[in-house]
Structure 1
Amino acid sequence: MYRESRVLMDTYCTITVVSDSRKEAQGAIEAGYGEIKKLETLLNYFAADSEISEINRNAGIKPVRVSKDTLDIL
């Protein structure tokens, strides 16, 4: 079992992978953190260029096209 923790989305995230291969486990951990980082980029309301910020800027003004990931979460 392999486990790694990082701070993402302003909180501690821990990913645990069960594998016989350290290399495969590390690849899975990196892929998981890559997905979390992608969502952080889309959903960070402190970042002016995030999709959430664009939605907020245009609320009541005009529709905003967002990614499938953002739409699925909303």
Structure 2
Amino acid sequence: MLKKMLSEYYILQLHFQESKMRTIATVFNPTFLLIFLCHIIKKLYLCSRIFSKNQALRLIENRIFSKYM
């Protein structure tokens, strides 16, 4: 199961040019799992900082208005 997930992640990463070399360098390396888990933890942390849809929309609106004013 884990090997299948890692291979699917590897195939997915090959489609993104900016991460292609990094993925090839870390494929099935002992550090690959650590990098993969850190990436997931970072995504979960960033998602948990936005508590609701309304807060996310306000954040986007504030960025748009501050950019043009």
TM-score (normalised: structure 1): 0.37
**The structure with more radius of gyration:** 2
Q: TM-score, normalised on structure 2?
A: 0.40
Higher strand share: 1
Q: Which has the higher helix share?
A: 2
